Structure 1
Amino acid sequence: MSTEARRAPFPQRPTDDPAPAGTEAQTEDEPSVFAPRRPLERPRETRPPVPEVRITTPPPPPPASARFPDAPPPRTPAATPTETTARLRPLPAGPGPAAQVPPPPAWSPAPAPDPALSWNAPWPVGAFGQPEPCEEPVRGLGPLARLRSRTGVAAVCVVLGLGLIGGALAGSWLTGEDGDRTADSGFAAAGSLWHNVPVDQLFPPTVQGTGAGPGGADRSWTRIAVAPDTGCAGAFDPLLARALAPVGCGRLLRATYTDATQTHVTTVGLLFTKADPAAMAGLAARFRNERLDRRTDLLPLPYAAKGTPAAGFGAKQRASWTVSVLTDAPIVAFAVSGWADGRSVDTPEPAQDAVRSGATSAPAQAGLGNEAQGLADRIQRKLRQTVSPATEKPS
């Protein structure tokens, strides 16, 4: 292969650099493939010029004599030991500008207070609203007028206070008097029921005794006879009549009832006395203290009406009884019970003892104590219900 054929794959590269020393110069016809390459030159960076900074030294301060003409010249400290405590040294004596002290500043009075900030200043309109109309006249009043105003207010308060106290006392007094009058009127109204109230209202034809029987059983009584209103003669045992004598006998009302089986009969009565509340309270205390309601020789007598199941109900047939002295009415209520077949009872038993649990007497076992106690309680309730409407004041 010829020389040109071997150089064909490598193109010729023109170069303008002269050949280095020690090498043979290449001709244009035979350029050198292994000619050294020129190094690449980096572009130079262009930086902005740095401004020149000049440091200026401030001029020294003028001497004290230039700033303060009257000030003394600075003194050169002597070579003495340094003191740690500052002391006041006297000024040099003698005439001259150095010995003179500058005069103190002229005294100026404190500024006068702002009238707008005073408590007596008028209220600013629009800040919190208009001032109350009652404040303006008060500010304009003189001392004498303000004293008269306060005196008048105090007098009005005293009058109102006395009026309230007097009204309270009067109301309390009137209330107490009205309460006493109500109690007195109720006591008097109860004493006149015997001729103002129908007999069916005092002694209903049928009386229901819910829970009045032995063991809480219900009882029902039917009226079979009503005695005419009479005096107290022949209605009580002699000793009981003597015990009731201090309260007097105004009128006696009696009625006889029988149970649903017509096995038992019970006479219930109301004795209207002539006594006042104090006498009735004394009689009730005597019965309670002396236990007169438990003595077998102080019994009421039954009302035995002919042609009724109670026709054979006499003194020997009394099995149980109760006597109650009322203190809110001039009335003595009583009841006495027995068998309807006329059997006699040797020792009657008070109803309070016959109704107790565990009582073994014949009246207690038969429930005659419940008959007397239950019927007497129902008649007293009916009596109080009758008295209450008569003593109520109209609204």
Structure 2
Amino acid sequence: MKKLHVHLHFLFLLKISVTQFLIVSSSSLNPSIAPVYTSMAAFSPGIQMGSGGEHRFNAHKKLLIGLIISSSCLGFIILFSLGLWVYCRKKSPNSIKNSDTESGNSFAMFMRRLSSIKTQRRTSFNKGYVQSFDTKTLEKATGGFKESNVIGQGGFGCVYKACLDNNTKAAVKKIENVCQEAKHEFQNEVELLSKIQHSNIISLLGCASEINSSFIIYELMEKGSLDDQLHGPSCGSALTWHMRMKIALDTARGLEYLHEHCRPPVIHRDLKSSNILLDSSFNAKISDFGLAVSVGLHGNNNIKLSGTLGYVAPEYLLDGKLTDKSDVYAFGVVLLELLLGRRPVEKLSPSQCQSLVTWAMPQLTDRSKLPKIVDPVIKDTMDLKHLYQVAAMAVLCVQLEPSYRPLITDVLHSLVPLVPVELGGTLRLTR
């Protein structure tokens, strides 16, 4: 309001100056107007009328002064308008930027910020800070990235088993910087994991980067992934019914932390059995946050479709609608894997595949058929009442309509009574 008042005051003075200029100009150019001012002067005390020559001199003098004043005002207006235009241009949110250059520079800026972070020991790890490793140290820790040390395969490289200088066992994910997408996933995962600390989320030990490759260092999970345990050589033989329920509960706790306790909430977007890692005691931790997004920081309905076939929620696959219920759908598929011991998508022939959800849904709700399709490894080892509860929970999680799916918090509360006390639940077993 104050600025508006000053502008109005300025315009008012400008109007007076211009008016005076026009009057003076008119009086000098049109002699018929002069008598009027002569008569006005006669009634004004202290003003004396001189001779005709003196009057003309005064008129020209006033004309010159008027021209100077008006020119000054015009110049001031031009300068003021130019300054206002420059200010608005700088402040405008719609100023045009080169998006490709901006996205390309963001990775370089991230790496400069990363390299400037003071190296810290893992024991004094603070949120938002990441320990920076030398690539030569990682090469030594992995035996020169030997093929025999490969413990996993990612979308942009391999994961290697490593032994760091302080004798800490670690997993090193090597990301080939072959494209902008690889660089974005590396940056996204490091930034997210540096802010997250939870017993059911993989711990970040540090990272490193060079021109052609980037590296993320995690804690080592000795039992590998849930996918390895269920569908690998052992075919789930190490996973009892209660152990499977514990893994489901751990995963639900990790998801609940992402959805309910992170600010802003985080949607994992690629939850699957190969991204659920198991330590030596079969404690489960969610890993691989390259595709994760923070709710509210992105237009979640305009995110490029990513994920793994068989786990992607139908509304996200068909319409691109991404919510926390997309993670709940993926969790439901993992629950079916634990229950049935089958992969999320199975090939019937070279040209035909079958979805686990599509195949299982009609049988999950039939109490006479359900016990027959359970994984043979755990068949007849559980309370049937608990089996029906887990099957009903899985059915709810994989509903086609997102609003029919439960929140992950509700799933968690349903799982707690099914897990023995010694495994982190509330179930008390009777011998």
Calculate the TM-score normalised by the size of structure 2: 0.27
Greater relative contact order, per chain length (Cα 8 Å cut-off, separation 6+): 1
Which protein shows a greater Rg? Answer: 1
Q: Which has the higher helix share?
A: 2
Calculate the TM-score normalised by the size of structure 1: 0.29
